[in-house]
Amino acid sequence: MKIDSTNLEGVLHIKPKVFGDARGFFLETYNKERYMDAGFPNVDFVQDNHSRSGKDVLRGLHFQINNPQGKLVQVVTGSVFDVAVDIRVGSPTFGQWYGSVLSEENHHQLWIPPQFAHGFCVLSESADFLYKCTDYYRPDDESGLLWSDPKVAIEWPLKEPLLSAKDQALPCLSDIDTSLLPDY
């Protein structure tokens, strides 16, 4: 396994070791000891989620205010462009983003710490997206920022995504009360 740092402190790009032959493949999607030995933080996961979305669906950019979730994300079928945005007030990379393609072919994962907004868009006909979370999802605690915030300027690989009504109505980062955002 190889764990790479990104331009955002704490966000990690993980390339698990895949054992494959003519019959198929095997990989560990998480092993606390091995991941920590490779530089992954010592976290406890309390919830696993599985999401399926069709082509051009964009979900995000989401975060929880009082109970932020760290997320270890991966794709098991299809392909997505996955994004983390630094929303830590006072961070030297506040408002900056990191994005990467996660797919069933590359088996890559991203670790998005609790202090970041997260979203993804589907590049394939459909995608099954799995993520382990460090806190429970609480709908009354959820917030987010607009996927197309011009100051964040994410280079999404699609121009007209399919969005939920909730995600269409999210504010730009500069319009969010900073008291609702985590401190660096």
| 98: annotated active-site residue | no
Cα gap 41→35, rounded to integer Å: 8
From the list 98, 108, 131, 137, the catalytic residue is 131
Q: Scanning the structure block, which residue is given the tokens 């806190």?
A: 135
Residue among 30, 35, 62, 137 flagged as catalytic? 62
- Catalytic, 107? Answer no
Annotated active-site positions, please? Answer: 62, 131
